[in-house]
Each structure stands twice: as structure tokens, then as C-alpha cells.
């Protein structure tokens, strides 16, 4: 058993729902109790979808157990077919149904529906949401695309598939638009995009492309690997997040497709490099950022933060163990040890210890950062309703890099304001406790920051504490921690003003 | 429709030194977090002990594991005085005996901590039934009324503190000598229960709790539920009658509240009167809401769905409903959707999963979870309750996009 306060990922059947909901004409019959229908709201409320997810729940109850839960399943599958007339069906069990072992796959086969029916085996007590999504997508691709060669469209322009965008994905809708634009400029045609808005027939046509562009390895990595092995379609693996990665993505696609990369390279809409070089951004230099999310977004964010914004990455981690190796490697390149955990409390501790100036994370980290009074921007699922904005806001491509520049810089105190705050610390109106002035009072965190406990035996003299309070809040936590560590190391029991400045010069080296 | 685990979201706020530990799966953890609107509470007093493969394969002894998790929890939250072990579908299906675990843990951590168990599983409970199961499990913890103790009134069902305070004032002015609320705000303050106890339900979904209270000799006072001016008056009057208090005096006490409620409802009546209403089953509050909306606001009822209809507890509510109304018990969402689409009501009350899809079809909805998350009982909240329904309709007329 594992004590869990908040979870980064839902159960694997929620991953399967994300695939079914993204596609058209695919229905999911889920052997599950009534209560599991809560998952519908993830799509209808958080993502504001205007249709119910195409999921039929069998809603068995305690009194059905040991009796006719299997019949219930068959009836539900038959009714779902009659009512929704899908082109393909996936069937499976939620955590509870897994325990009663009704074999939804076998039952569905027995009723002999005239459409492809795919049994999903998603072990709820071992795996999680992203794995469930990847497995579901892979099973659908394998079953529908088949392994025999398909007749190819006569050679013409290069063609690719775009794999990965799905329901409840962080900015998938807008990334897709941006990536399609890049491909169009390169003269590469898109054969199929999947799973988002794809039909069963679209999946059958997948082999009719030269290569696959995988936007979200967590969702489409497994399916792309199979297509590569079975149909000889190479995979574009670079994720075009950030200017540098977008250029590499263009180069990689161009090389594979045999086209001129220059066609898409000089995007005059790419403003973030100049925004970053302009003098106003000097104050961003060396800002200490903590990054946590799904592996792909976290790794990409670390690169953008260090290479394109001039931040210092002080922590990097991910919650999905499936991609831990990549995160570890990325962290090592930055001289860090990756934090691989799905324990929210552990992430909170890491952030409290590191006292970064900016947190780039999921909505969980947004919450942690709010409590610790640290600015934050969301870079990855799990996300909340405000992470599905009405406006166009991709993360990928040149426009994505512009969006990233804006959203990461916005929560910070601006350059000159930062100076003024340090110069006139006691100004009763221009009070640093209020947070960045352009964010208004709403930005002032409500909960007091939990003071990290001082090492045993170290206390603050009254005037040293007063001096510490003159340090702007966004670096105060770090100053406090450093000074306490400095004092503890030297056996100083009471921190005086002198100790504070000694520590400062010590850590400035 | 959610399962009974959802009740934890409001119960853990009510009993301020209690912690709710769900013994379940990742799904259960995900449900509570999604129902709670994700991360709204800084430090929630609930968590899930997620069962893993090794727990199921018998590689780990479930009881040892549970002890370990509880120790971990108490180390983090030493201020907790009452721990609820909450059963889920998986724990019920594998027949994990949480009542024995609760006894064992109670002994181990006595007297600092009491451990109680109930099930909020989706194979036995829906949504608000979780509160019923929780309160039913809490009844045996109440001390006994000494024989011959003077009669006292117990108000049963989770109410927001502000509403509780209003009712306490009103019942005091009416002249009821001793009034207690259940559940209490602190686990150490569970009121004594016994043959002298007369109780009023504040929520209609408390069937099991009622049986448990009756087992202890407590006697229920039948009444309308305290929604709207009419319901609140009837509810308070029923209590006064049980104490043989002069009706003229009661009328004097409730008159100002009644008057305030009526005045405040006027505005919403303009918006709601004559509008047709379809309620999907969700919280078991539906019959009471339908009565309030039809009798005090003039809405026309098309269908009143409820996940479960306790005809005994709701007898007065059912009498107060128009004769021709269709009351449907249980859930068959596709058929209900068919009927709803055919009727094209002016307002649909439904769960979060259906609201946006129905709005996209041009229907106006009120999602029902708000009804259990906001103060809606009593005179001074009557207009707020009406406002929850009026606002979506007013919004429709305002929007020009
Ligand atoms: S319905 Fe059952 S399995 Fe699903 S969340 Fe509720 S208790 Fe857990």
C-alpha cells in the first residue's frame, strides 16, 4: 500500500478513455462500478468538451457480484453498439472489475459484433494513466493497421503521420496546428493525425506514409516503435519545444523527407530569441528554476530554461518512471540528480529545500509554489481548467517558444522593479510582500510560507532577523537557508547581522 | 454519478480533527481529487492508501501494510483525533475486513486516536450515501443518554457552520431546551444519544443513520426538509410540536426569517416561474429541490430523478409534490438523456459529466454538486438556493455571443 495525498496520474483506464475520447467512432465499454463515471467530468469540465466521452460503464453493484456481472457486461456492450454504432470498440476492466475477472475481451467476442472489438489488458494495480493511453493507442494501431504491407500512394510529395495528440493533453490542440504549419512550409503532407480526431479507417491508412512524427512519446512512443519495426517507418524523435529544438526538428524532418530545411527555418514570427537577448531580459540571468512534469516536457523545459532564457536549472524531475532514464541523462548534463517520483510530498520537500525563484511544473507544483510563495508556470499535464486557454497557445514550434517566453517571464518580478524593491525595502506602499506589482494583489499568496525548520541549535538574533526581512521575499528563503547552513557548519549558535553578511560573501564565491 | 467516497470532500471540513483514509485503488484517489476540484485545500485531511499488485497477490499482509500507512500518517498529522478507514470497491471485493482493522488500530493508538470504518464504495453507495454510511458508523461512538435524561433535540446531517449557528439560534428562541448537531465539529464532542433523543434530519439521504439512531432509542421527528421558507418553517414547527410549544410563539419566532426569505425569493421567482425543470438523479436532494422550486418559485416539473427513493423519510416531500410528476429512481443515463432531449426543458439539473454536453445542445443546466457544497438550508439561504438555479437562466438572456 502506498499513502497518497494527490496523484499525478489517474488509473490506466483513464488513459484508454483519453484515446477513445480523442478519436471519432471508437467506443469504450468499461466494466466498472457506477462511481467510476466520475472520469467523464475530466473531459467535459476540465477540457470543456461539448460531448460526453464515448464510454459505456457497466455500473455493476455489490448485489450483482458473484451473480451476473458477466451478463451485465454483455448487455452493456450490445446496447452500446446498438445505440452508438461505432466503427470499432475497445473493452476492458477498471480496477474493481479486474478483481472479479469477468474477461471483458472474451465476453465481447462471444456476442459477435460486426466491428473490430479490441480487448484491453490494463493492469490497474501496476500501471497508470499515461501507460494506459500508450498501450491503448498501440493496440488500436496494431489491430487496425495490421502487419501486412499496404498499397502505397504513388510517390509524390513526402508524407508523414503525426502521432500523439490526444484528449486532455497539455496544449495538444495548439501544438498540432503549429507543427502542421511547419510541415506545410517544408512541403511535407500529413497522411494521418492520430489519435486526435482520427477514425478507425484513418488508423488503417497509417502505413501509407514515409515516416512518423511523434509529438508526445508518452502517448505514441510504443505505437511508433511498432510502426517502425513493422512498416519500416522511421520516427522523428525531436520534440519541437523551444527555438533550438524547433530548428533541430525542422532539420530532422527535412533530412528524412529530402527537402530543404531553409523553407521553414527563418520564421519571422520567431520573437523569443530577440526578446531574450534584449537588455530588458538581463535580469533573467541565472534565475534559479525548478522543473517537474512529464518526462518529455520537463526535459524540453530544462533545455529552454538554460539555453534560451539564461536561467539556472536547480532541480529537474518527472513523475512517469517509464521515461526515467531520459530524465536522468538530461539532469546529469546540467550537473543535477533527477527527481523521479510520483509522490507529491517528495516534490514539495524538494522545492522547499531548493527555494527556487521560479517553478515550472504541473498544476500540483502550481499549488506547492503558491504555498511557498514562489512564482510558477505550468508546463505539463496534469493540468487544470485554466490550462486549457481559449486563445491559441502552443508549446511547440516558433510560436510555442514565444508563448513559453511570455508565460515563464510573466510571473516574475520585473527587472527594474526588482532593483527598486531592494533599494527601498521599507517603503510602506511599495511592499515586496505584495508580489510582482503587475500581477496586482491577487498574486499575493494567502497562506504563510511554511518556514523551513532551522538546523538544530541555530537561532536568529533580533536585529539579524530584521535585516533578513529587508531582503526581497523572492530571495529571502534562499538567504535564510544559506545563512543557517553557514552558521550550523561553523557552530554559530546565534546568527548576528555579521553572520548574515559573512554567509552572503561565502556563497557569492 | 459519483460514489460515496465523494462525501469525504465535505465531511473532512466539518469534523475538524478527523482524517479520512480511503483504502482503495488509484481510481479512488483520482476520484476524490477530481471531485474536490483538485487541490483546493492546502493540507487536506484525507488520503488514499493505494493497494498495489503485491497487496493483492498476498505478498504483503494487508493489515501490516495498513498499520504502516497509518503510522506514517500519524507522524505527519499528530493532531488527528479520529481516523476513518473508508472502504472502496476494491477493498470490498477482496473482502478486506476494515472493521477488525479499525478495532485493532483503535486499541493500538488509544486514547489519543479513535479509529472507525465505513464503506464509501461505488458498488454499495452513490454520492451522498457516503455521508450516510459515515454518520451511521459514527452513531455507536456516541455516549448514551442516562435513563430519565430530559428530552433533547439532535439535528442530523452535515450543515455548513453558518447554517448550524442560525438553526441553533432559532431553535433556542423557539424554546427547545437542548439542541445538538451531528456530526459534531470536533470528534470529542459527539452528543449523547438515547431514548430521550428526538431527532430532525437536515438531509434526506440519511436512511442508515436513521436506523442506527432508532436502534439507540432515538425518535425521528418527521418533517419537510429545511429548504426554502416553507420547508424551513415546517421543519422548525415539527420540532416545536414535539415539545408542545405554543404555535403562536413559534410563528412569532419564525416570522422575520420567513419574511426575509419570501422577499428575497421574489426576484428569482421572476426568472424561474413557469420554467420547466428536469432533474437527473444525483444527490437524493432532488425531491426536496423539486418541491421548493415548484411550490415557492413556480417552476414546472417534468421529471424528478433520484438515485434512491426512501419513501418513508421523504413521505412529506412526496405529498407536497404535484400528483402528475414523474419520479424516476435509479440511473439509466442513456434513457434519461433520451427523455430529457425529447422534453427540451428550460432547465436541467445534472452531474458534472453531463452539464457541458447538454449546454452544447442548447439546454440550460445547473450542475448538482454545488448543491452539496454550498449553504442552501434555512430561511437566509433560501434565496441563495434559488439563485443557483436562476443564475444560469439569467446568464442565457445576458449573453449575446
Ligand atoms: S467507484 Fe469504487 S473504485 Fe471507483 S472511485 Fe469509487 S470506490 Fe473507488
Count how many Cα atoms sit within 13 Å of the Cα of residue B247 in the half-sphere of its side chain.
Answer: 4
Count of other CB atoms within 10 angstroms of residue A400: 26
Residue B323 lies in a domain: yes
Average pLDDT over residues B337-358: 94
CA A381/CA A336 separation, integer angstroms: 23
**So what's the pLDDT on residue A447?**
40
User: Would you say residue A445 has pLDDT above 50?
Assistant: no
B381 and B311 in a common domain: yes
Domain range enclosing B236: 152-250
Chain A partners within 8 Å of B351 (Cβ): 41
pLDDT at position A416: 61
Lowest mean pLDDT among A240-254, A373-387, B218-232: A373-387
pLDDT digits over A80-109, tens only? 999 999 999 999 999 999 999 899 999 999
Alpha helices, H only, A164-308: 172-186, 200-204, 217-231, 243-257, 262-265, 272-277, 295-303
Q: Which atom of ligand 1 is nearest to the CA of B122?
A: 1
If pLDDT is split at 50, 70 and 90, which confidence band does A164 have? very high
Give me the sheet containing B347-350, strands edge to edge: B326-329, B300-306, B276-279, B347-350, B365-367
To the nearest whole number, what is the mean pLDDT of chain B? 93
Task: Assign A434 a pLDDT band (cuts: 50, 70, 90).
Answer: low
Residue B345 lies in a domain: yes
Residues B9 and B75 in one domain: yes
List the alpha helices (DSSP H) in A362-438: 363-372, 397-409, 415-423
Q: Other C-beta atoms within 10 Å of B353: how many?
A: 24
* pLDDT grade for B147, boundaries at 50, 70 and 90: confident
- C-alpha distance from residue A72 to each of A30, A34, A65, A97, A232 (Å): 11, 13, 11, 12, 43
Using the Cβ of A1 and the Cβ atoms of chain B, whether some distance falls under 8 Å is answered with: yes
Encode pLDDT of A109-126 as tens digits.
999 999 999 999 999 999
Report CA(B122)–ligand 1 centroid distance (Å).
5
For B47, which of A4, A13, A123 is closest by C-beta distance?
A4
Here the cell at position A274 is: 530577440
Radius of gyration for chain A, computed over Cα atoms and rounded to the nearest angstrom:
26
Beta-sheet strands, E only, within B162-296 = 179-182, 197-201, 219-220, 276-279
User: Quick count: other Cβ atoms within 10 Å of Cβ A423?
Assistant: 9
Q: Are residues B120 and B162 in the same domain?
A: no
- Pair (B285, B355) in one structural domain: yes
Please indicate, yes or no, whether residues B272 and B245 belong to a single structural domain of this protein.
no
**pLDDT tops 70 at residue B336:** yes
Question: A229-261: per-residue pLDDT in tens?
Answer: 999 999 999 999 999 999 999 999 999 999 999
Residue at B209 is within a domain: yes
**Triad A457, A461, A463: Cα angle to 5°:** 160
CA distance A469 to A471: 5
How close does chain A come to B324, measured CA to CA in Å? 29
B6 contacts on A by Cβ (under 8 Å): 38
pLDDT of residue A426: 55
Angstrom distance (rounded) from CA B375 to CA B160: 6
Last residue of one domain, picked from the residues B250, B273, B305: B250
Residue B306 lies in a domain: yes
Is B159 in the same domain as B188?
yes
For residue B48, is it within any domain? yes
Question: Which one is catalytic: A121, A280, A353, A427?
Answer: A280
pLDDT of A492 above 70: yes
- Whether residue A52 and residue B53 make contact (CB cut-off 8 A), yes or no, is no
Ligand 1 centroid–CA B15 distance in Å is 23
Q: Is B270 exposed, middle or buried (0-12, 13-18, 19+ CB in 10 A)?
A: exposed
Task: Quote the pTM value.
Answer: 0.90
Q: How far is the CA of B5 from the centre of ligand 1 (A)?
A: 7
Q: Is B191 within a domain?
A: yes
ipTM over 0.90: yes
Query: Which of A1, A30, A364 is the mutation pick for testing B, counting most B CBs within 10 A?
Result: A1
pLDDT value, residue B370: 81
pLDDT above 90 (res A190): yes
Query: Does residue A484 carry a pLDDT above 50?
Result: yes
- Which three cell numbers mark A124? 490497474
- Active-site residue flag, A40: no
pLDDT at position B224 over 60: yes
Specify whether B204 is located in the same domain as B314. no
Contact A474, A398 (CB under 8 A): no
Q: What pLDDT shows up at residue A272? A: 94
pLDDT score, position B40: 55
Indicate if B321 and B287 belong to the same structural domain.
yes
Least confident stretch, A203-217, A441-455, B63-77, B166-180: A441-455
Domain end, chosen from B83, B106, B124, is at: B124
Q: Is B118 helix (H, G, I), strand (E, B) or coil?
A: strand
Quick one: pLDDT at residue A198?
Answer: 98
Please report which confidence band the pLDDT of residue A476 belongs to, taking 50, 70 and 90 as the band edges: confident
pLDDT band per the 50, 70, 90 thresholds, residue B373: confident
- CA torsion A42-A47-A48-A53 (nearest 10°) is -50
User: Is B143 a domain residue?
Assistant: no
Instruction: Give the model's confidence band at A436: pLDDT under 50 very low, under 70 low, under 90 confident, else very high.
Output: low
- Please give the distance of CA A197 from its chain centroid, rounded to a whole number: 21
Contact B7, B134 (CB under 8 A): yes
Q: What is the C-alpha to C-alpha distance for residues A355 and A357, in angstroms, rounded to an integer?
A: 7
pLDDT(A44) > 90: yes
Sequence-distant (6+) residues with CB within 8 A of B174 are B236, B239, B240, B245, B249, B250, B253, B254
- The torsion angles phi and psi of B140, rounded to 5 degrees, stand at -60, -15
A96 touches chain B (CB under 8 A): yes
Grid cell, residue B341, equals 432531449
Residue A427 burial class via C-beta count within 10 angstroms: exposed 0-12, middle 13-18, buried 19 and up: exposed
Say whether both B372 and B322 belong to one domain: yes
Q: Are strands A312-318 and B82-87 parallel, antiparallel or unpaired?
A: unpaired
Residues B275 and B336 in one domain: yes
Contacts of A431 by beta carbon, 8 Å cutoff, 6+ apart: none
- What mean pLDDT is reported for chain A? 90
Section A193-218 average pLDDT? 97
Contact yes or no for A308/A244 (Cβ under 8 A) = yes
CB A158 within 8 A of CB A258: yes
Among A4, A7, A35, name the best residue to mutate to test ligand 1's pocket (greatest count of ligand atoms within 8 A of Cβ): A35
Return the CATH number at B212.
Answer: 3.40.50.1980
- Structural domain includes residue B391: yes
3-state class (DSSP) for residue B207: helix
Hey, what long-range contacts does A419-424 have (CB within 8 A, 24 or more apart)? A421/A472, A422/A471, A422/A472
d(C-alpha B310, C-alpha B272), whole Å = 28
Please report which residue ranges of B148-246 form alpha helices under DSSP H. 161-174, 207-215, 228-242
**pLDDT of the residue at A446:** 39
Q: Whose CA is nearest to atom 3 of ligand 1?
A: B89
Question: B86 pLDDT band (50/70/90 cuts)?
Answer: very high
User: What pLDDT is attached to residue A467?
Assistant: 85
For B284-303, the pLDDT digits (tens) are 999 999 999 999 999 999 99
Cα–Cα separations (whole angstroms), residue A126 to A216, A323, B236: 22, 16, 53
**Which cell goes with A68?**
451476473
Contacts of A424-433 spanning 24+ positions with Cβ under 8 A: A425/A470, A425/A471, A425/A472, A426/A470, A432/A472, A432/A473, A432/A474, A433/A473
Percentage of the residues of chain A whose pLDDT score is greater than 70: 91
Shortest Cα–Cα distance, A496 to chain B (Å): 33
Last residue of a domain, one of B193, B218, B250: B250
- Residue B296 and residue B216 share a domain: no
Which grid cell sits at A26?
471508437
Q: What is the number of domains present in chain B?
A: 3
Q: How far is B379 from chain A (nearest CA, A)?
A: 32
Distance CA A272, CA A432 (A): 28
A66 Cβ contact list (under 8 Å, min separation 6): none
Helix (H, G, I), strand (E, B), or coil: what is residue B355?
helix
Asked if B39 and A364 come within 8 Å (Cβ–Cβ), the reply is yes
pLDDT for position A450: 43
Q: Please tell me the predicted confidence (pLDDT) of residue A418.
A: 66
* Chain B environment of A10 (Cβ under 8 Å): 26-27, 30
- Residue B336 sits in the same domain as residue B223: no
pLDDT for the residue numbered A444: 43
Amino acid at each position: 500500500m502506498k499513502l497518497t495525498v494527490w496523484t499525478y496520474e489517474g488509473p490506466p483506464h483513464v488513459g484508454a478513455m483519453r484515446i477513445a475520447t480523442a478519436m471519432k467512432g471508437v467506443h469504450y465499454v468499461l466494466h466498472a462500478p457506477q462511481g467510476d463515471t466520475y472520469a467523464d467530468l475530466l473531459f467535459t469540465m476540465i477540457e470543456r468538451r461539448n460531448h460526453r466521452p464515448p464510454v459505456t460503464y457497466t455500473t455493476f453493484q455489490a448485489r450483482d457480484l458473484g451473480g451476473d456481472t458477466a451478463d451485465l457486461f454483455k448487455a452493456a456492450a450490445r446496447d452500446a453498439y446498438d445505440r452508438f454504432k461505432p466503427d470499432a470498440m475497445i473493452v476492458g476492466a477498471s480496477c474493481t472489475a479486474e478483481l472479479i475477472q469477468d474477461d471483458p475481451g472474451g465476453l465481447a467476442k462471444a456476442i459477435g459484433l460486426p466491428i473490430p472489438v479490441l480487448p484491453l489488458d490494463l493492469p490497474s494495480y501496476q500501471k497508470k494513466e499515461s501507460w494506459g493511453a500508450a498501450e491503448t493507442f498501440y493496440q488500436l494501431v496494431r489491430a487496425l493497421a495490421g502487419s501486412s504491407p499496404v498499397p502505397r500512394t504513388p510517390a509524390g510529395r513526402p508524407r508523414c503521420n503525426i502521432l500523439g495528440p490526444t484528449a486532455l493533453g497539455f496544449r495538444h490542440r495548439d501544438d498540432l496546428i503549429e507543427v502542421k504549419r511547419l510541415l506545410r512550409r517544408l512541403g511535407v503532407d500529413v497522411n494521418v493525425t492520430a489519435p486526435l480526431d482520427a477514425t478507425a479507417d484513418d488508423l488503417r491508412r497509417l502505413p501509407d506514409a514515409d515516416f512518423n512524427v511523434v509529438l508526445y512519446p508518452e502517448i505514441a512512443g510504443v505505437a511508433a516503435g511498432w510502426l517502425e519495426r513493422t512498416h519500416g517507418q522511421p520516427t522523428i524523435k525531436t520534440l519541437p519545444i523551444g527555438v533550438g529544438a524547433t530548428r533541430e526538428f525542422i532539420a530532422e524532418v527535412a533530412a528524412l523527407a529530402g527537402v530543404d530545411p531553409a523553407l521553414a527555418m527563418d520564421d519571422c514570427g520567431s520573437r523569443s530569441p530577440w526578446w531574450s537577448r534584449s537588455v530588458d531580459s538581463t535580469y533573467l540571468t541565472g534565475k534559479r528554476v525548478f522543473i517537474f512534469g512529464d518526462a518529455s516536457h520537463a526535459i524540453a523545459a530544462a533545455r529552454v530554461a538554460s539555453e534560451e532564457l539564461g536561467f539556472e536549472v536547480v532541480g529537474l524531475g518527472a513523475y512517469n518512471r517509464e521515461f526515467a532514464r531520459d530524465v536522468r541523462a538530461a539532469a546529469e548534463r546540467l550537473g543535477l540528480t533527477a527527481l523521479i517520483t510520483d509522490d507529491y510530498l517528495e516534490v514539495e520537500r524538494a522545492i522547499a529545500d531548493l527555494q527556487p525563484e521560479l517553478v515550472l511544473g504541473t498544476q500540483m507544483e502550481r499549488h506547492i509554489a503558491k504555498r511557498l510563495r514562489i512564482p510558477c508556470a505550468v508546463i505539463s499535464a496534469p493540468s487544470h481548467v485554466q490550462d486549457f486557454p481559449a486563445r491559441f497557445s502552443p508549446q511547440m514550434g516558433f510560436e510555442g517558444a514565444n508563448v513559453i517566453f511570455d508565460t515563464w517571464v510573466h510571473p516574475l518580478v520585473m527587472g527594474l522593479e526588482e532593483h527598486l524593491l531592494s533599494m527601498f525595502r521599507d517603503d510602506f506602499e511599495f511592499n515586496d510582500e505584495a508580489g510582482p506589482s503587475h500581477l496586482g494583489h491577487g498574486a499575493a499568496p494567502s497562506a504563510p510560507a511554511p518556514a523551513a525548520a532551522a538546523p538544530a541549535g541555530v537561532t536568529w538574533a533580533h536585529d539579524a532577523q530584521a535585516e533578513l526581512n529587508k531582503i526581497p521575499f523572492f530571495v529571502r528563503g534562499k538567504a535564510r537557508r544559506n545563512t543557517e547552513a553557514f552558521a550550523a557548519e561553523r557552530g554559530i549558535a546565534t546568527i548576528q547581522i555579521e553572520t548574515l553578511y559573512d554567509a552572503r560573501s561565502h556563497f557569492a564565491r | 454519478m459519483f460514489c460515496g467516497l465523494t462525501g469525504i470532500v465535505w465531511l473532512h471540513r466539518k469534523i475538524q480533527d478527523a482524517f479520512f483514509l480511503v483504502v482503495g485503488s488509484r481510481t479512488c484517489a483520482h476520484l476524490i481529487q477530481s471531485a474536490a476540484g483538485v487541490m483546493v485545500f492546502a493540507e487536506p485531511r484525507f488520503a488514499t492508501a493505494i493497494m498495489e499488485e503485491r497487496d493483492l497477490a498476498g505478498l504483503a499482509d494487508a493489515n501490516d501494510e495498513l498499520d504502516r500507512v497509518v503510522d506514517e500518517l500519524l507522524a505527519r498529522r499528530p493532531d488527528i483525533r479520529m481516523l476513518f478507514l473508508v472502504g472502496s470497491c476494491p477493498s470490498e471485493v477482496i473482502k478486506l475486513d476494515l472493521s477488525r482493522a479499525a478495532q485493532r488500530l483503535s486499541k493500538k493508538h488509544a486514547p489519543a486516536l479513535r479509529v472507525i470504518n465505513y464503506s464509501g464504495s461505488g458498488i454499495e453507495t452513490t454520492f451522498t450515501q457516503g455521508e450516510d454510511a459515515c454518520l451511521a458508523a459514527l452513531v455507536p461512538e456516541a455516549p448514551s443518554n442516562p435513563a430519565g435524561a430530559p428530552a433533547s433535540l439532535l439535528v442530523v446531517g452535515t450543515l455548513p457552520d453558518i447554517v448550524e449557528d442560525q438553526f441553533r439560534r432559532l431553535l433556542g428562541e423557539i424554546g427547545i431546551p437542548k439542541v445538538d448537531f451531528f456530526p459534531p465539529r470536533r470528534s470529542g464532542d459527539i452528543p449523547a444519544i438515547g431514548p430521550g433523543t428526538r431527532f430532525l434530519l437536515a438531509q434526506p439521504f440519511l436512511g442508515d443513520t436513521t436506523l442506527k439512531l432508532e436502534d439507540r432509542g432515538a425518535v425521528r421527528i418527521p418533517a419537510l426538509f429545511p429548504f426554502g421558507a416553507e420547508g424551513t418553517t415546517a421543519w422548525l414547527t415539527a420540532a416545536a410540536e414535539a415539545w408542545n410549544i405554543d404555535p403562536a410563539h413559534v410563528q412569532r419566532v419564525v416570522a422575520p426569517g420567513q419574511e426575509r426569505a419570501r422577499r428575497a425569493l421574489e426576484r428569482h421567482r421572476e426568472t424561474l416561474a413557469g420554467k420547466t425543470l428536469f432533474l437527473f438523479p444525483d444527490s437524493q436532494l432532488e425531491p426536496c429541490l423539486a418541491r421548493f422550486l415548484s411550490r415557492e418559485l413556480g417552476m414546472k416539473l417534468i421529471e424528478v430523478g433520484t438515485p434512491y427513493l426512501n419513501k418513508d423519510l421523504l413521505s412529506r416531500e412526496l405529498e407536497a409534490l404535484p400528483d402528475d410528476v414523474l419520479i424516476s429512481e435509479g440511473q439509466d443515463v442513456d434513457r434519461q438523456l433520451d427523455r430529457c432531449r425529447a422534453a427540451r426543458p428550460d432547465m436541467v439539473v445534472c452531474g458534472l459529466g453531463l452539464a457541458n454536453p447538454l449546454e452544447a445542445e442548447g439546454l440550460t443546466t445547473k450542475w448538482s454538486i454545488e448543491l452539496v457544497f454550498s449553504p442552501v438550508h434555512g430561511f437566509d439561504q433560501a434565496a441563495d438556493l434559488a439563485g443557483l438555479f436562476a443564475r444560469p437562466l439569467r446568464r442565457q438572456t445576458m449573453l449575446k455571443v
